[in-house]
A and B are shown apart, each in its own frame.
Chain A
C-alpha cells in the first residue's frame, strides 16, 4: 500500500446534537451535525471526549451507524451500567447540546462496494452498529452485491434497528436474527448462539469467498472467527472488531 493512503490529521470539533433516538431500552442513537466532516467509510468510528468542570476529560470510541451517503453523522451508544461515558451520552445529552468528537478513525474494519463481496456480517449485541452503516451504504450504492447479516441478540427487545432491518430485508438484504436468551413463542428466526452449525446454515460456503466482518464482544468474536477459519474460510478474508466489557 502506498504511503499516500495515510489520511490527514484529525482535529477535535464540536458537533451539534440534532436528535436523540431511542433504539432499545439500553441503546440510543445520537444524530449529529459536525461542522466539518470529510466523509467516512462504513465501519469506521469516532472518538468522543467529555470534559468535567475540573478539567478532567474522558475519551471513548464509538462506531459510526450512518452511511457515508447519509445527511447526518449517527452514533449508536449502548449504556453500560458501570460506564463512565455511555450513561452520560444516553441519559444526559439532549438535542441542541454540543458533543466534542474527532474522526473518522480506522479503515481496516471498513467496507464499501468497491471492496466487493459477497458481504457477510456477523454481529453480537451492539456489535451490529457498524453493519447498519454498511447495509445503508450497500442500499444507497444500488444493492449490486449479495449482502447478508447474521445478528445475535439476547432478546427481541435488545435488537437494534429492527424496523430498519425489516425494510432492508424487503429490498434484498438478507438479515438473519438469532435470539439467544429469550424469544416470543412464535419466533420464526434462529434460537441459539452463533456456533458452527448456525454458521454452516447461514454463511456462504468458503468456495464463494465471502468477505466477512465479525463484530461483538471478545468471546463472541473469538468463537465466530475460529469457527469460520475451521470451516475453511481464509483468515485474510475475515476482519474482526472486538470490544471488551470495559469498552464504556
Chain B
C-alpha cells in the first residue's frame, strides 16, 4: 500500500475479512464495548493461530485418570491394514534413531505454547517397518483413548512418538512414557500414553472426533469442531 495523505478517504472494508463470522454468516463487525484484550505487541501473529493465547505453563487435559504403565510392560505396535504387524519393547524403541525437535503446540482449549523441545522417533521410521497401502491410521493409548490421522499428516517429518520433553523423560501426566507429537494439528491428535498405530483403509473418527471435535483439526484454519 502506498502511504496515505491524512485526509484521504479510508479504503473500503474488506467484506470477507470484516463482516463474515467464521460460521459464514454476514454480521456487522461487532465489538464488545470496553474489551481491549491483552497487549498484542509481544505476540507474533505468524505463530499464534486465530483464537489462541500464549501460555508459559503446560496445562494438562485428559478425559480420565492418568494410566501408569511400567516400562517392562510397555510396547509399541503397528497393526491393522499391514502385511505384518511390527512391535518394539521399550528398550528396542529407545534404541531406534531419534530426533530432537523444537515445535509450537496448539490445544483446542485455546492455549498455545511456543518453542517446546522434544525427543522422539519419527513416525516415518516406525511406518518404514511395515508394508501398507492404508491412507489413515488410529493412534491408540493406554486408558482407551484413540485419535484418527491421515498417513500423509504424520509422515514426511510431520510427527514423532516422543519420550523426552525439555531434556527430561516425559512426565506421566503429559503422556509419558511416550506420546504422539503432531504439531501441525490441535494437540488432542498428539495422543498421550500412545501404545500403537492401527492402519485403516477408511478414516474412522477417534475419541474426541466422535464427540463433535473436528476430524482434521488444523489450528491455522481454526478447525475446532465439526463443520468449522
Binding site for B on A (CB under 8 A): 1, 3, 5-12, 14, 47, 49-53, 55-61, 84, 88, 92, 97-100, 102, 105-109, 218, 222, 225-226, 228-229, 235-236, 238-240, 242-248
Contact = CB atoms under 8 A, between A and B. Distances in A.
A154 to B, nearest CB: 21
B95 interface: no
Nearest to B52: A59
Nearest to B110: A59
B187 to A, nearest CB: 13
B30 A100 contact: yes
B100 to A, nearest CB: 26
A59 B51 contact: yes
Given A52-B35, A236-B144, A244-B59, A9 B65 contact: no
Given A56-B40, A59-B110, A6 B210 contact: yes
A143 to B, nearest CB: 27
Contact of A240 (B35, B64, B111, B144): B64
B152 to A, nearest CB: 22
Contact of B143 (A7, A102, A235): A235
B157 interface: no
Contacts of A14: 30
Contact of A246 (B31, B55, B173, B225): B55
Interface string B56-98: 0101111111110000000000000000000000000000000
Contacts of A225: 64-66
Interface of B: 18, 21-23, 25, 29-38, 40, 50-51, 53, 55, 57, 59-67, 109-111, 143-144, 173, 205, 207-212, 224-228
A105 B226 CA distance: 10
A82 B37 CA distance: 11
B60 A11 contact: no
B35 A88 contact: yes
A1 to B, nearest CB: 6
A8 B226 contact: yes
A126 B29 CA distance: 33
B227 A222 contact: no
B57 A245 contact: yes
Contacts of B111: 244, 246
A7 to B, nearest CB: 5
Nearest to B228: A9
A97 B29 CA distance: 16
A242 B61 contact: yes
A14 B28 CA distance: 12
Contacts of A5: 210
B89 to A, nearest CB: 24
B227 A12 contact: no
Contact of A108 (B29, B55, B63, B110): B63
B188 to A, nearest CB: 12
A105 B212 contact: yes
Contacts of B110: 59-61
Given A235-B143, A240-B65, A58 B53 contact: yes
A215 B4 CA distance: 54
